[in-house]
Protein backbone atom coordinates (compact mmCIF):
# COMPACT_ATOMS: atom_id res chain seq x y z
CA UNK A 1 0.00 0.00 0.00
CA UNK A 2 1.29 3.42 -0.95
CA UNK A 3 0.40 5.36 2.19
CA UNK A 4 1.54 8.82 3.18
CA UNK A 5 5.15 7.81 3.95
CA UNK A 6 5.70 6.45 0.45
CA UNK A 7 3.71 9.10 -1.40
CA UNK A 8 5.11 9.91 -4.85
CA UNK A 9 8.29 7.89 -4.30
CA UNK A 10 7.52 5.40 -7.10
CA UNK A 11 7.01 6.48 -10.70
CA UNK A 12 5.62 4.93 -13.85
CA UNK A 13 8.25 5.56 -16.50
CA UNK A 14 7.22 3.28 -19.35
CA UNK A 15 3.93 2.28 -21.01
CA UNK A 16 3.66 -0.44 -23.63
CA UNK A 17 0.82 -1.95 -25.64
CA UNK A 18 0.35 -4.74 -28.11
CA UNK A 19 -2.14 -4.43 -30.92
CA UNK A 20 -5.77 -4.85 -29.82
CA UNK A 21 -7.64 -7.56 -31.73
CA UNK A 22 -10.30 -10.24 -31.54
CA UNK A 23 -7.80 -12.93 -32.47
CA UNK A 24 -4.17 -12.24 -31.69
CA UNK A 25 -2.96 -15.50 -33.17
CA UNK A 26 -0.22 -15.65 -30.53
CA UNK A 27 0.14 -16.92 -26.97
CA UNK A 28 -0.43 -14.78 -23.91
CA UNK A 29 3.29 -15.20 -23.22
CA UNK A 30 4.05 -13.58 -26.57
CA UNK A 31 1.57 -10.79 -25.86
CA UNK A 32 3.19 -10.16 -22.47
CA UNK A 33 6.71 -10.05 -23.92
CA UNK A 34 5.67 -7.68 -26.70
CA UNK A 35 4.00 -5.26 -24.30
CA UNK A 36 6.92 -5.42 -21.87
CA UNK A 37 9.39 -4.73 -24.69
CA UNK A 38 7.32 -1.78 -25.83
CA UNK A 39 7.15 -0.39 -22.28
CA UNK A 40 10.91 -0.68 -21.85
CA UNK A 41 11.45 1.06 -25.19
CA UNK A 42 9.09 3.81 -24.10
CA UNK A 43 11.06 4.23 -20.87
CA UNK A 44 14.45 4.06 -22.56
CA UNK A 45 15.40 1.09 -20.39
CA UNK A 46 16.80 -2.38 -21.13
CA UNK A 47 15.47 -5.78 -20.16
CA UNK A 48 18.29 -6.22 -17.69
CA UNK A 49 17.26 -3.09 -15.85
CA UNK A 50 14.26 -5.09 -14.62
CA UNK A 51 14.38 -6.91 -11.30
CA UNK A 52 10.69 -7.39 -10.65
CA UNK A 53 7.65 -8.88 -12.42
CA UNK A 54 3.98 -8.52 -11.46
CA UNK A 55 0.68 -9.38 -13.10
CA UNK A 56 -2.89 -10.41 -12.39
CA UNK A 57 -4.62 -13.27 -14.13
CA UNK A 58 -7.36 -15.85 -13.68
CA UNK A 59 -5.61 -18.93 -14.92
CA UNK A 60 -5.76 -17.49 -18.42
CA UNK A 61 -2.28 -16.10 -18.97
CA UNK A 62 1.44 -16.80 -18.82
CA UNK A 63 2.74 -16.91 -15.26
CA UNK A 64 5.27 -14.31 -14.15
CA UNK A 65 8.03 -16.83 -13.50
CA UNK A 66 7.73 -17.98 -17.10
CA UNK A 67 7.77 -14.38 -18.28
CA UNK A 68 10.88 -13.66 -16.21
CA UNK A 69 12.57 -16.72 -17.70
CA UNK A 70 11.60 -15.70 -21.21
CA UNK A 71 13.00 -12.22 -20.60
CA UNK A 72 16.26 -13.75 -19.41
CA UNK A 73 16.02 -12.36 -15.89
CA UNK A 74 18.14 -14.50 -13.58
CA UNK A 75 17.94 -12.55 -10.32
CA UNK A 76 14.41 -11.33 -9.81
CA UNK A 77 13.71 -9.61 -6.50
CA UNK A 78 9.96 -9.29 -6.77
CA UNK A 79 7.43 -11.73 -8.20
CA UNK A 80 3.77 -10.86 -7.74
CA UNK A 81 1.25 -13.26 -9.26
CA UNK A 82 -2.20 -12.06 -8.30
CA UNK A 83 -5.11 -14.43 -8.85
CA UNK A 84 -8.00 -12.21 -9.77
CA UNK A 85 -9.91 -10.30 -12.38
CA UNK A 86 -10.96 -6.69 -12.62
CA UNK A 87 -11.33 -6.32 -8.87
CA UNK A 88 -7.65 -7.17 -8.47
CA UNK A 89 -6.17 -5.15 -11.32
CA UNK A 90 -4.56 -2.53 -9.10
CA UNK A 91 -2.97 -5.10 -6.76
CA UNK A 92 0.13 -5.88 -8.88
CA UNK A 93 0.74 -2.16 -9.43
CA UNK A 94 0.35 -1.56 -5.71
CA UNK A 95 2.92 -4.25 -4.92
CA UNK A 96 5.32 -2.98 -7.58
CA UNK A 97 5.07 0.63 -6.40
CA UNK A 98 5.63 -0.41 -2.80
CA UNK A 99 8.67 -2.45 -3.80
CA UNK A 100 10.41 0.26 -5.79
CA UNK A 101 9.60 3.00 -3.27
CA UNK A 102 11.04 0.97 -0.37
CA UNK A 103 14.05 -0.30 -2.29
CA UNK A 104 12.91 -3.93 -2.23
CA UNK A 105 13.25 -3.85 -6.01
CA UNK A 106 14.68 -1.27 -8.37
CA UNK A 107 12.66 -1.59 -11.55
CA UNK A 108 9.45 -3.61 -11.85
CA UNK A 109 7.25 -4.35 -14.83
CA UNK A 110 3.50 -4.79 -14.34
CA UNK A 111 1.37 -6.24 -17.09
CA UNK A 112 -1.88 -7.91 -18.07
CA UNK A 113 -1.91 -10.19 -21.11
CA UNK A 114 -5.04 -11.97 -22.26
CA UNK A 115 -6.70 -13.57 -25.24
CA UNK A 116 -10.10 -12.82 -23.79
CA UNK A 117 -11.87 -13.11 -27.14
CA UNK A 118 -10.06 -15.91 -28.95
CA UNK A 119 -9.01 -17.84 -25.84
CA UNK A 120 -10.76 -18.13 -22.49
CA UNK A 121 -13.67 -15.77 -23.05
CA UNK A 122 -13.98 -13.53 -20.05
CA UNK A 123 -17.73 -13.13 -20.26
CA UNK A 124 -18.09 -16.77 -19.27
CA UNK A 125 -15.23 -16.88 -16.83
CA UNK A 126 -17.60 -17.32 -13.91
CA UNK A 127 -18.33 -20.84 -15.13
CA UNK A 128 -14.90 -21.69 -13.73
CA UNK A 129 -15.74 -23.00 -10.24
CA UNK A 130 -12.31 -21.94 -9.00
CA UNK A 131 -13.30 -18.34 -9.59
CA UNK A 132 -16.55 -18.35 -7.73
CA UNK A 133 -16.69 -19.73 -4.23
CA UNK A 134 -20.42 -19.21 -4.05
CA UNK A 135 -20.99 -19.92 -7.73
CA UNK A 136 -22.71 -23.17 -6.82
CA UNK A 137 -25.75 -21.14 -5.78
CA UNK A 138 -25.99 -19.42 -9.18
CA UNK A 139 -24.77 -21.93 -11.74
CA UNK A 140 -27.82 -24.22 -11.54
CA UNK A 141 -29.87 -21.28 -12.86
CA UNK A 142 -27.45 -20.73 -15.77
CA UNK A 143 -26.69 -17.40 -14.14
CA UNK A 144 -22.98 -17.62 -14.81
CA UNK A 145 -21.79 -14.84 -17.09
CA UNK A 146 -20.41 -11.45 -16.17
CA UNK A 147 -23.25 -9.56 -17.91
CA UNK A 148 -25.81 -11.51 -15.88
CA UNK A 149 -23.99 -10.86 -12.62
CA UNK A 150 -23.63 -7.15 -13.25
CA UNK A 151 -27.19 -6.88 -14.58
CA UNK A 152 -28.47 -8.06 -11.20
CA UNK A 153 -26.53 -5.26 -9.53
CA UNK A 154 -27.42 -2.72 -12.22
CA UNK A 155 -31.15 -3.09 -11.67
CA UNK A 156 -30.79 -2.42 -7.96
CA UNK A 157 -28.61 0.61 -8.56
CA UNK A 158 -30.93 1.97 -11.25
CA UNK A 159 -33.99 1.45 -9.06
CA UNK A 160 -32.46 3.18 -6.06
CA UNK A 161 -31.39 6.30 -7.96
CA UNK A 162 -33.96 6.42 -10.74
CA UNK A 163 -31.34 5.75 -13.43
CA UNK A 164 -32.80 5.10 -16.88
CA UNK A 165 -31.68 3.27 -20.00
CA UNK A 166 -30.99 6.68 -21.55
CA UNK A 167 -28.66 7.44 -18.65
CA UNK A 168 -26.68 4.27 -19.27
CA UNK A 169 -26.61 5.10 -22.97
CA UNK A 170 -25.11 8.49 -22.20
CA UNK A 171 -22.14 6.74 -20.57
CA UNK A 172 -21.53 4.57 -23.63
CA UNK A 173 -21.88 7.56 -25.96
CA UNK A 174 -19.56 9.82 -23.96
CA UNK A 175 -16.86 7.17 -23.99
CA UNK A 176 -17.33 6.51 -27.69
CA UNK A 177 -16.75 10.19 -28.36
CA UNK A 178 -13.34 9.88 -26.72
CA UNK A 179 -12.60 6.69 -28.66
CA UNK A 180 -13.19 8.51 -31.93
CA UNK A 181 -9.94 10.34 -31.10
CA UNK A 182 -8.05 7.24 -30.00
CA UNK A 183 -6.28 5.34 -32.81
CA UNK A 184 -5.93 2.34 -30.50
CA UNK A 185 -9.65 2.03 -29.85
CA UNK A 186 -11.49 -0.95 -31.30
CA UNK A 187 -14.81 0.91 -31.55
CA UNK A 188 -14.42 4.31 -33.19
CA UNK A 189 -17.65 4.86 -35.09
CA UNK A 190 -19.97 7.45 -33.54
CA UNK A 191 -22.72 5.99 -31.35
CA UNK A 192 -26.14 7.61 -31.10
CA UNK A 193 -28.77 7.20 -28.42
CA UNK A 194 -31.05 5.64 -31.02
CA UNK A 195 -28.41 3.04 -31.86
CA UNK A 196 -27.82 2.40 -28.19
CA UNK A 197 -31.51 1.88 -27.44
CA UNK A 198 -31.91 -0.33 -30.52
CA UNK A 199 -29.01 -2.58 -29.54
CA UNK A 200 -30.00 -6.03 -28.43
CA UNK A 201 -30.47 -7.10 -24.84
CA UNK A 202 -27.67 -9.19 -23.40
CA UNK A 203 -29.06 -9.54 -19.89
CA UNK A 204 -31.72 -7.00 -18.94
CA UNK A 205 -31.22 -4.26 -17.95
CA UNK A 206 -27.92 -4.40 -19.91
CA UNK A 207 -27.82 -3.99 -23.68
CA UNK A 208 -24.97 -4.78 -26.04
CA UNK A 209 -23.48 -1.30 -25.78
CA UNK A 210 -23.51 -1.45 -21.98
CA UNK A 211 -20.95 -4.24 -22.17
CA UNK A 212 -17.19 -4.05 -22.61
CA UNK A 213 -15.31 -5.58 -25.51
CA UNK A 214 -13.64 -8.93 -25.09
CA UNK A 215 -10.16 -8.24 -26.43
CA UNK A 216 -6.88 -9.99 -27.21
CA UNK A 217 -4.12 -7.66 -26.01
CA UNK A 218 -1.49 -6.88 -23.42
CA UNK A 219 -0.51 -3.68 -21.63
CA UNK A 220 2.66 -3.21 -19.58
CA UNK A 221 3.88 -0.51 -17.20
CA UNK A 222 7.46 -0.03 -16.00
CA UNK A 223 8.03 1.42 -12.52
CA UNK A 224 11.13 2.67 -10.79
CA UNK A 225 11.88 5.07 -7.96
CA UNK A 226 11.08 8.70 -8.60
CA UNK A 227 14.65 9.98 -8.24
CA UNK A 228 15.87 7.65 -10.95
CA UNK A 229 12.78 8.40 -13.01
CA UNK A 230 13.84 12.04 -13.28
CA UNK A 231 16.86 10.96 -15.34
CA UNK A 232 14.72 9.05 -17.86
CA UNK A 233 13.16 10.34 -21.04
CA UNK A 234 9.50 10.72 -20.04
CA UNK A 235 7.93 13.08 -17.56
CA UNK A 236 7.67 10.87 -14.45
CA UNK A 237 4.17 10.02 -13.32
CA UNK A 238 4.34 9.30 -9.61
CA UNK A 239 2.18 7.00 -7.53
CA UNK A 240 0.62 9.25 -4.90
CA UNK A 241 -1.55 6.63 -3.22
CA UNK A 242 -2.92 3.14 -3.68
CA UNK A 243 -5.56 1.11 -1.91
CA UNK A 244 -6.31 -2.57 -2.40
CA UNK A 245 -8.81 -4.46 -0.30
CA UNK A 246 -12.50 -4.45 0.44
CA UNK A 247 -14.87 -6.97 1.91
CA UNK A 248 -18.45 -5.87 1.38
CA UNK A 249 -20.12 -8.30 -1.02
CA UNK A 250 -23.53 -9.82 -1.63
CA UNK A 251 -23.40 -12.23 1.28
CA UNK A 252 -21.56 -10.07 3.77
CA UNK A 253 -22.98 -9.88 7.25
CA UNK A 254 -25.17 -6.79 7.82
CA UNK A 255 -24.83 -5.81 4.14
CA UNK A 256 -28.44 -4.77 3.70
CA UNK A 257 -28.12 -2.11 1.00
CA UNK A 258 -26.62 -4.02 -1.91
CA UNK A 259 -25.84 -0.80 -3.79
CA UNK A 260 -23.12 -0.06 -1.27
CA UNK A 261 -19.78 -1.52 -2.26
CA UNK A 262 -16.20 -2.10 -1.26
CA UNK A 263 -15.32 1.36 -2.55
CA UNK A 264 -16.73 3.72 0.06
CA UNK A 265 -14.34 3.15 3.00
CA UNK A 266 -11.41 2.71 0.65
CA UNK A 267 -12.01 5.93 -1.26
CA UNK A 268 -11.77 7.85 1.99
CA UNK A 269 -8.43 6.20 2.77
CA UNK A 270 -7.16 6.68 -0.76
CA UNK A 271 -7.65 10.44 -0.76
CA UNK A 272 -6.28 10.79 2.78
CA UNK A 273 -3.15 8.92 1.75
CA UNK A 274 -2.76 11.09 -1.34
CA UNK A 275 -3.33 14.26 0.68
CA UNK A 276 -5.94 15.59 -1.74
CA UNK A 277 -9.69 15.58 -2.16
CA UNK A 278 -11.80 14.27 -5.02
CA UNK A 279 -12.13 17.81 -6.42
CA UNK A 280 -8.43 17.80 -7.21
CA UNK A 281 -8.72 14.84 -9.60
CA UNK A 282 -8.32 16.11 -13.17
CA UNK A 283 -8.91 12.82 -15.01
CA UNK A 284 -10.75 9.67 -13.88
CA UNK A 285 -10.24 6.30 -15.53
CA UNK A 286 -12.97 4.21 -13.91
CA UNK A 287 -13.26 0.45 -14.38
CA UNK A 288 -16.08 0.00 -16.85
CA UNK A 289 -16.83 -3.62 -17.59
CA UNK A 290 -20.42 -2.32 -17.82
CA UNK A 291 -21.87 1.19 -18.01
CA UNK A 292 -23.51 1.27 -14.54
CA UNK A 293 -20.10 0.88 -12.90
CA UNK A 294 -19.04 4.27 -14.22
CA UNK A 295 -22.03 6.00 -12.62
CA UNK A 296 -21.52 4.09 -9.38
CA UNK A 297 -17.85 5.02 -9.10
CA UNK A 298 -18.33 8.68 -9.98
CA UNK A 299 -20.49 8.81 -6.88
CA UNK A 300 -18.61 6.46 -4.58
CA UNK A 301 -15.26 8.14 -5.20
CA UNK A 302 -16.85 11.49 -4.38
CA UNK A 303 -16.49 12.92 -7.88
CA UNK A 304 -20.17 13.83 -7.59
CA UNK A 305 -22.90 13.36 -5.00
CA UNK A 306 -24.77 10.05 -4.66
CA UNK A 307 -27.53 9.85 -7.23
CA UNK A 308 -26.05 12.66 -9.33
CA UNK A 309 -23.79 10.72 -11.70
CA UNK A 310 -26.40 10.21 -14.40
CA UNK A 311 -27.09 13.93 -14.47
CA UNK A 312 -23.39 14.69 -14.56
CA UNK A 313 -22.79 12.43 -17.55
CA UNK A 314 -25.94 13.63 -19.30
CA UNK A 315 -24.80 17.23 -19.00
CA UNK A 316 -21.41 16.43 -20.53
CA UNK A 317 -19.60 16.51 -17.21
CA UNK A 318 -17.36 13.58 -18.11
CA UNK A 319 -16.28 15.05 -21.45
CA UNK A 320 -12.88 16.57 -22.05
CA UNK A 321 -14.05 20.04 -21.05
CA UNK A 322 -16.38 18.82 -18.31
CA UNK A 323 -16.07 18.85 -14.54
CA UNK A 324 -14.42 15.41 -14.43
CA UNK A 325 -13.20 13.96 -17.74
CA UNK A 326 -13.74 10.21 -17.45
CA UNK A 327 -12.50 7.21 -19.40
CA UNK A 328 -10.71 9.40 -21.88
CA UNK A 329 -9.50 6.49 -24.01
CA UNK A 330 -13.01 5.16 -24.49
CA UNK A 331 -12.61 2.71 -21.63
CA UNK A 332 -13.31 -0.98 -21.73
CA UNK A 333 -16.49 -0.15 -23.59
CA UNK A 334 -14.83 1.37 -26.65
CA UNK A 335 -11.03 1.19 -26.49
CA UNK A 336 -10.73 -2.45 -25.49
CA UNK A 337 -10.60 -4.69 -22.49
CA UNK A 338 -7.20 -5.14 -20.94
CA UNK A 339 -8.67 -5.84 -17.53
CA UNK A 340 -8.05 -2.46 -15.93
CA UNK A 341 -4.44 -1.95 -16.95
CA UNK A 342 -5.25 0.05 -20.08
CA UNK A 343 -6.97 2.53 -17.76
CA UNK A 344 -3.76 3.08 -15.82
CA UNK A 345 -1.80 3.36 -19.08
CA UNK A 346 -4.21 6.03 -20.33
CA UNK A 347 -3.96 7.92 -17.03
CA UNK A 348 -0.16 7.97 -17.35
CA UNK A 349 -0.33 9.36 -20.87
CA UNK A 350 -2.89 11.99 -19.86
CA UNK A 351 -0.45 13.16 -17.19
CA UNK A 352 2.37 13.21 -19.72
CA UNK A 353 0.13 15.42 -21.89
CA UNK A 354 0.59 13.14 -24.92
CA UNK A 355 -3.02 12.20 -25.69
CA UNK A 356 -3.54 14.46 -28.68
CA UNK A 357 -7.14 15.35 -29.42
CA UNK A 358 -8.42 13.63 -26.32
CA UNK A 359 -5.89 15.29 -24.00
CA UNK A 360 -7.34 16.94 -20.91
CA UNK A 361 -5.59 20.30 -20.80
CA UNK A 362 -3.10 20.65 -17.97
CA UNK A 363 -4.00 17.38 -16.23
CA UNK A 364 -1.91 16.99 -13.07
CA UNK A 365 -3.76 14.32 -11.04
CA UNK A 366 -5.47 11.14 -12.23
CA UNK A 367 -7.53 8.45 -10.55
CA UNK A 368 -7.62 4.92 -11.94
CA UNK A 369 -9.76 2.22 -10.39
CA UNK A 370 -10.42 -1.51 -10.25
CA UNK A 371 -13.83 -3.11 -10.58
CA UNK A 372 -15.67 -1.66 -7.58
CA UNK A 373 -16.27 -4.97 -5.91
CA UNK A 374 -19.68 -5.93 -7.26
CA UNK A 375 -19.83 -9.71 -6.60
CA UNK A 376 -16.21 -10.00 -5.48
CA UNK A 377 -16.27 -7.50 -2.63
CA UNK A 378 -12.71 -6.53 -3.54
CA UNK A 379 -11.42 -3.44 -5.26
CA UNK A 380 -8.47 -1.11 -5.54
CA UNK A 381 -7.49 2.29 -6.86
CA UNK A 382 -4.48 4.45 -7.56
CA UNK A 383 -3.92 8.19 -7.64
CA UNK A 384 -1.21 9.30 -10.03
CA UNK A 385 0.46 12.68 -10.29
CA UNK A 386 2.53 14.42 -12.95
CA UNK A 387 5.90 15.06 -11.35
CA UNK A 388 6.72 18.71 -10.73
CA UNK B 1 -33.45 -28.28 -20.87
CA UNK B 2 -29.77 -27.48 -20.70
CA UNK B 3 -27.77 -29.75 -18.40
CA UNK B 4 -26.23 -27.57 -15.73
CA UNK B 5 -22.42 -27.44 -15.47
CA UNK B 6 -22.47 -27.88 -11.75
CA UNK B 7 -19.81 -27.48 -9.17
CA UNK B 8 -20.84 -30.21 -6.72
CA UNK B 9 -22.17 -29.18 -3.33
CA UNK B 10 -19.28 -28.95 -0.90
CA UNK B 11 -19.05 -30.25 2.64
CA UNK B 12 -20.42 -26.99 4.02
CA UNK B 13 -23.35 -26.65 1.63
CA UNK B 14 -24.50 -30.27 1.44
CA UNK B 15 -27.35 -29.82 3.95
CA UNK B 16 -28.75 -26.89 1.94
CA UNK B 17 -28.97 -28.90 -1.27
CA UNK B 18 -30.29 -31.97 0.54
CA UNK B 19 -33.05 -29.83 2.08
CA UNK B 20 -34.00 -28.39 -1.31
CA UNK B 21 -34.31 -31.95 -2.63
CA UNK B 22 -36.92 -32.47 0.13
CA UNK B 23 -38.59 -29.21 -0.96
CA UNK B 24 -37.47 -27.41 2.18
CA UNK B 25 -35.75 -24.01 2.38
CA UNK B 26 -33.26 -23.94 5.25
CA UNK B 27 -30.74 -21.42 6.60
CA UNK B 28 -28.13 -21.60 9.33
CA UNK B 29 -28.60 -20.22 12.85
CA UNK B 30 -25.63 -19.53 15.09
CA UNK B 31 -25.94 -21.54 18.31
CA UNK B 32 -24.25 -18.76 20.26
CA UNK B 33 -25.77 -15.47 19.05
CA UNK B 34 -28.68 -16.86 17.00
CA UNK B 35 -27.87 -14.72 13.98
CA UNK B 36 -29.11 -16.31 10.77
CA UNK B 37 -26.83 -16.77 7.77
CA UNK B 38 -26.71 -18.00 4.20
CA UNK B 39 -24.78 -19.19 2.12
CA UNK B 40 -23.43 -22.10 4.12
CA UNK B 41 -20.52 -21.23 6.38
CA UNK B 42 -18.86 -23.15 9.19
CA UNK B 43 -18.34 -20.03 11.31
CA UNK B 44 -20.61 -17.20 12.41
CA UNK B 45 -19.36 -13.98 10.84
CA UNK B 46 -20.96 -11.98 13.63
CA UNK B 47 -19.66 -13.65 16.79
CA UNK B 48 -17.12 -16.17 15.51
CA UNK B 49 -18.81 -19.26 16.92
CA UNK B 50 -18.36 -22.55 15.11
CA UNK B 51 -21.59 -23.97 16.56
CA UNK B 52 -24.62 -23.72 14.30
CA UNK B 53 -27.70 -25.59 13.17
CA UNK B 54 -29.78 -25.66 10.04
CA UNK B 55 -33.30 -24.38 10.63
CA UNK B 56 -36.34 -23.92 8.43
CA UNK B 57 -36.61 -20.51 6.81
CA UNK B 58 -39.98 -18.78 7.03
CA UNK B 59 -39.96 -19.34 3.28
CA UNK B 60 -41.17 -15.92 2.17
CA UNK B 61 -39.44 -12.84 0.89
CA UNK B 62 -39.37 -9.93 -1.52
CA UNK B 63 -37.84 -9.51 -4.97
CA UNK B 64 -35.03 -6.93 -4.84
CA UNK B 65 -33.66 -7.49 -8.35
CA UNK B 66 -33.91 -9.72 -11.37
CA UNK B 67 -32.26 -10.30 -14.71
CA UNK B 68 -33.74 -11.38 -18.01
CA UNK B 69 -31.10 -13.24 -19.95
CA UNK B 70 -31.54 -12.78 -23.69
CA UNK B 71 -28.09 -13.61 -25.00
CA UNK B 72 -27.69 -17.36 -25.34
CA UNK B 73 -24.13 -18.09 -24.29
CA UNK B 74 -24.16 -21.79 -25.10
CA UNK B 75 -25.58 -24.03 -27.81
CA UNK B 76 -28.31 -25.42 -25.57
CA UNK B 77 -29.14 -22.37 -23.50
CA UNK B 78 -32.77 -21.45 -24.13
CA UNK B 79 -33.57 -17.75 -23.78
CA UNK B 80 -35.09 -15.60 -22.47
CA UNK B 81 -35.24 -16.60 -18.82
CA UNK B 82 -35.61 -14.78 -15.52
CA UNK B 83 -33.47 -15.14 -12.40
CA UNK B 84 -34.48 -13.14 -9.33
CA UNK B 85 -32.70 -12.15 -6.15
CA UNK B 86 -34.95 -12.45 -3.10
CA UNK B 87 -34.45 -11.01 0.37
CA UNK B 88 -36.01 -13.51 2.72
CA UNK B 89 -38.11 -12.33 5.63
CA UNK B 90 -36.01 -14.17 8.23
CA UNK B 91 -33.36 -11.45 8.39
CA UNK B 92 -32.69 -8.25 6.43
CA UNK B 93 -29.29 -9.24 4.98
CA UNK B 94 -29.97 -12.66 3.46
CA UNK B 95 -30.45 -12.66 -0.31
CA UNK B 96 -31.11 -15.90 -2.21
CA UNK B 97 -31.34 -16.28 -6.01
CA UNK B 98 -33.79 -18.46 -7.86
CA UNK B 99 -36.12 -18.86 -10.77
CA UNK B 100 -39.55 -17.25 -10.53
CA UNK B 101 -42.85 -18.81 -11.49
CA UNK B 102 -43.59 -16.02 -13.98
CA UNK B 103 -43.33 -15.41 -17.75
CA UNK B 104 -39.84 -15.95 -19.18
CA UNK B 105 -39.63 -12.49 -20.73
CA UNK B 106 -39.85 -10.89 -17.29
CA UNK B 107 -42.67 -8.48 -18.15
CA UNK B 108 -44.56 -9.22 -14.93
CA UNK B 109 -41.52 -8.75 -12.70
CA UNK B 110 -41.36 -5.77 -10.34
CA UNK B 111 -39.39 -4.50 -7.39
CA UNK B 112 -40.99 -5.51 -4.13
CA UNK B 113 -42.93 -8.52 -5.40
CA UNK B 114 -43.83 -10.83 -2.52
CA UNK B 115 -42.74 -14.41 -3.13
CA UNK B 116 -42.69 -17.76 -1.35
CA UNK B 117 -40.32 -20.65 -1.82
CA UNK B 118 -41.24 -23.08 -4.56
CA UNK B 119 -39.21 -25.83 -6.13
CA UNK B 120 -38.23 -27.16 -9.51
CA UNK B 121 -35.71 -29.60 -10.90
CA UNK B 122 -33.07 -29.05 -13.56
CA UNK B 123 -30.97 -31.61 -15.42
CA UNK B 124 -27.27 -31.70 -14.63
CA UNK B 125 -24.22 -32.70 -16.60
CA UNK B 126 -23.55 -35.31 -13.92
CA UNK B 127 -26.83 -37.08 -14.71
CA UNK B 128 -28.93 -36.71 -11.56
CA UNK B 129 -31.51 -33.89 -11.61
CA UNK B 130 -31.01 -31.13 -9.07
CA UNK B 131 -33.75 -29.41 -7.06
CA UNK B 132 -33.57 -25.62 -7.27
CA UNK B 133 -35.74 -22.74 -6.11
CA UNK B 134 -38.58 -21.45 -8.23
CA UNK B 135 -40.09 -18.65 -6.18
CA UNK B 136 -43.90 -18.44 -6.37
CA UNK B 137 -45.78 -15.17 -6.35
CA UNK B 138 -47.28 -14.75 -2.89
CA UNK B 139 -49.53 -11.74 -3.48
Residues in A touching B124 (Cβ below 8 Å):
140
Q: Taking CA atoms, what residue in B is nearest to A151?
A: B67
Query: What confidence tier does A328 reach under pLDDT thresholds 50, 70, 90?
Result: very high
Residue B5: list chain A partners with CB under 8 A: 127, 139, 144
pLDDT number for residue A177: 98
Judge whether B39 is closer than 8 Å to chain A, CB to CB.
Answer: yes
* Closest among A117, A116, A96 to A105, alpha carbons compared: A96
Per-residue pLDDT at A126 exceeds 60: no
Partners of B67 on chain A (C-beta within 8 Å) are 143, 148, 151-152, 155, 203-204
A287: annotated active-site residue: yes
By Cβ distance, the residue of A124, A152, A201 closest to B65 is A152
Residue A277 near residue A270 (C-beta atoms within 8 A) = no
Using a 10 angstrom Cβ sphere, with 0-12 exposed, 13-18 middle and 19 or more buried, the burial of residue A361 is exposed
**Could A256 and B93 be called an inter-chain contact, meaning their C-beta atoms sit closer than 8 Å?**
yes
Are B65 and A155 within 8 A, CB to CB?
yes
Q: Does B42 touch chain A (CB under 8 A)?
A: no
pLDDT at residue A125 greater than cutoff 60 = no
Confidence of residue B124 (pLDDT cuts 50, 70, 90): confident
Beta carbons of A193 and A173 less than 8 angstroms apart: yes
Interface pTM, i.e. ipTM: 0.96
**Residue A84 predicted with pLDDT over 60:** yes
Task: Place A378 in a pLDDT band, splitting at 50, 70 and 90.
Answer: very high
Whether the predicted pLDDT of B5 surpasses 80: no
Tell whether B111 lies on the interface with A, counting CB pairs under 8 A. yes
pLDDT for residue B2 is more than 80? no
pLDDT of A146 strictly over 70: yes
- Cα separation values, A272 from A8, A240, A268, A345, A383, Å: 14, 10, 6, 24, 11
The proportion of chain A whose per-residue pLDDT surpasses 70, expressed as a percent, equals: 97
Q: Does the structure show a pLDDT above 70 at A274?
A: yes
| For residues B124-135, average pLDDT | 90
Task: Work out the average pLDDT over A76-92.
Answer: 96
Could you tell me which residues of chain A have a Cβ less than 8 Å from any Cβ in chain B?
123-124, 127, 129, 134-145, 147-148, 151-153, 155-156, 159, 200-204, 250-256, 258
Q: Tell if the CB–CB gap between A204 and B68 is shorter than 8 Å.
A: yes
User: Phi/psi at A227 (nearest 5 deg)?
Assistant: -60, -45
Rounded distance between C-alpha atoms, residue A171 and residue A316, angstroms: 10
**Residue A330 pLDDT more than 70?**
yes
- Chain A residues with beta carbon closer than 8 angstroms to that of B71: 145, 147, 200-203
The pLDDT of residue B56 is 98
Q: Looking at residue B3, what is its pLDDT?
A: 76
Give start and end residues of each alpha helix (H) in chain B. 14-21
> Rounded CA gap, A357 and B67, in Å?
39
Amino acid B8: pLDDT:
66
Nearest Cα of chain B lies from the Cα of A124 at a distance, in angstroms, of 8
Q: What confidence category does residue A69 fall into, taking pLDDT thresholds of 50, 70 and 90?
A: very high
| Confidence at A127, pLDDT banded by 50, 70, 90 | low
CA-based R_g, chain A, Å: 19
Residues of B in contact with A165 (CB under 8 A): none
Q: What is the pTM of this model?
A: 0.96
Q: What is the mean pLDDT of residues B48-72?
A: 97
**Which distant-in-sequence residues (6+ apart) come within 8 Å of B38 by Cβ?**
A251, B16, B27, B28, B94, B96
pLDDT, mean of residues A119-129: 62
CB contact under 8 A, A143 and B13: no
Please tell me the predicted confidence (pLDDT) of residue A128: 60
* A357 neighbors A275 (Cβ within 8 angstroms): no
Q: Which of A135, A140, A250 sits opposite B122 (nearest CB)?
A: A140
pLDDT value of position A1: 85
Residue A130 has pLDDT above 60, yes or no: no
CA distance B38 to B6: 19
For chain A, strand residue ranges (E) read: 10-17, 52-57, 78-83, 107-115, 201-204, 206-207, 216-225, 237-246, 283-285, 365-369, 378-386
H/E segment holding residue A100 = helix A91-102
Which residues from chain A sit within 8 angstroms of residue B104, using beta carbons?
none
Please provide the average confidence, as pLDDT, over all residues in chain B: 93
pLDDT digits (tens, 9 = 90+) for B14-31: 999 999 999 999 999 999
Task: With CB atoms and an 8 Å threshold, state whether A138 touches B96.
Answer: no
Amino acid sequence: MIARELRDRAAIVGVGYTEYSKNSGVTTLTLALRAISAALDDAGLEIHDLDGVACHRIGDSADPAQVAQALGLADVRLVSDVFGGGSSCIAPLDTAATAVSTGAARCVVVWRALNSRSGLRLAGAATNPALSGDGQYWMPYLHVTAPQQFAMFARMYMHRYGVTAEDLGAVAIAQREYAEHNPRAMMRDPLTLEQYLASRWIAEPLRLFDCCLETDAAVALVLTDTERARDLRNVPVTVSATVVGGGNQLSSNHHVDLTTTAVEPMATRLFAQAGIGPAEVDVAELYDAFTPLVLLQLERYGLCAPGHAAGLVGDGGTRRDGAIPTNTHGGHLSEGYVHGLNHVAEAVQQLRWTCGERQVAGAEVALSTAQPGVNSGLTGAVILRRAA
Amino acid sequence: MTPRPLPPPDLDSGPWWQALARNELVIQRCASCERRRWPARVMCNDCGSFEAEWIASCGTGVVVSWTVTHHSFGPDVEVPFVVALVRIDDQDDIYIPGYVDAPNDGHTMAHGLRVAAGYDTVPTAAGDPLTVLRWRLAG
